[in-house]
Amino acid sequence: MSSSDPTVQPVPASVVEKVDAADVTLSNPKRAVISLGSNLGNRLETLQGAVDALEDTPGLRVKAVSPVYETEPWGVEPGTQATYFNAVVLVKTTLPPSSLLERGHAIEEAFERVRDEQWGPRTIDVDIVAYQDVVSDDPLLTLPHPRAHQRAFVLVPWNDVDPQAEFPGRGSVSALLHEVGQDGVQVRADLELRLPE
């Protein structure tokens, strides 16, 4: 549309400044990496719902969303569960890790995640993979995620959205991915998660 179109109103500078300052009003935001996975119900819709719910969290901004990958379930006999859709979301947040964990659990609950069995099927899995450079062995939230550095379904999408990423205490994500390999992690180019507007 041309700028002479009377229906197009310029965005006031004050609004632009507010949007640009959104990261600043998150005073001293921290970077966090969140892994999403779903193998029950409408998997893509659920992943998008989780991305939107993260963006709706006060004190949190979604900065990047990876492509969607399809993977075999972890830790179970092949063919006993549906495949997963996986993605990684990069966020900036002023929430401390414990509050971010609570928010992740609340999102899982909203999508009726059931925790009956280890490695059981799930509507949604929301895992904090890394929070800034924090290394912590708190039993409630171990940071970085204790097994993510061995899991291609986390490393592949993370490497997509941040090729320079460092896995706290373990080196670069791309080097870890090189060690682990990409077997069983298929990109679904036909599917897309939208960044919240």
pLDDT at 120: 59
Tokens of 58: 């006060």
Give the pLDDT mean for 99-119. 78
Under a CB-based contact definition with an 8 Å cutoff, are residues 163 and 142 in contact? no
pLDDT at 157 over 90: yes
Q: Sort 160 into a burial class: Cβ within 10 Å, 0-12 / 13-18 / 19+.
A: middle
The closest of 44, 34, 48 to 82, measured between CA atoms, is: 44
Reported as a single tens digit per residue, the pLDDT across 113-150 is 555 555 556 788 999 999 999 999 988 899 999 999 99
Span 87-108, average pLDDT: 94
Written as six digits, the tokens of 185 are 């992690």
* Mean pLDDT confidence for 28-45: 93
Ranges of beta strands (E only) in the chain are 30-38, 60-65, 69-71, 84-93, 125-131, 166-167, 171-172, 185-187
The answer to whether 55 and 92 have CB atoms below 8 angstroms apart is no
Q: Which of 150, 180, 177, 179 is nearest to 66 (CA)?
A: 177
Better-scored residue on pLDDT, 18 or 196: 196
Q: What is the mean pLDDT of residues 59-63?
A: 94
Write out pLDDT tens, residues 165-184. Answer: 999 999 999 999 999 999 88
Please check whether residue 84 is in contact with residue 121, taking contact to mean a CB–CB distance below 8 angstroms. Answer: no
Q: How many CB atoms lie within 10 A of CB 19?
A: 10
**Is 9's pLDDT higher than 60?**
no
Using pLDDT thresholds of 50, 70 and 90, give the confidence band for residue 98: very high
Residues belonging to the active site: 113, 122, 125, 127
167 beta partners: 171
Lowest mean pLDDT among 12-26, 66-80, 113-127, 173-187: 12-26
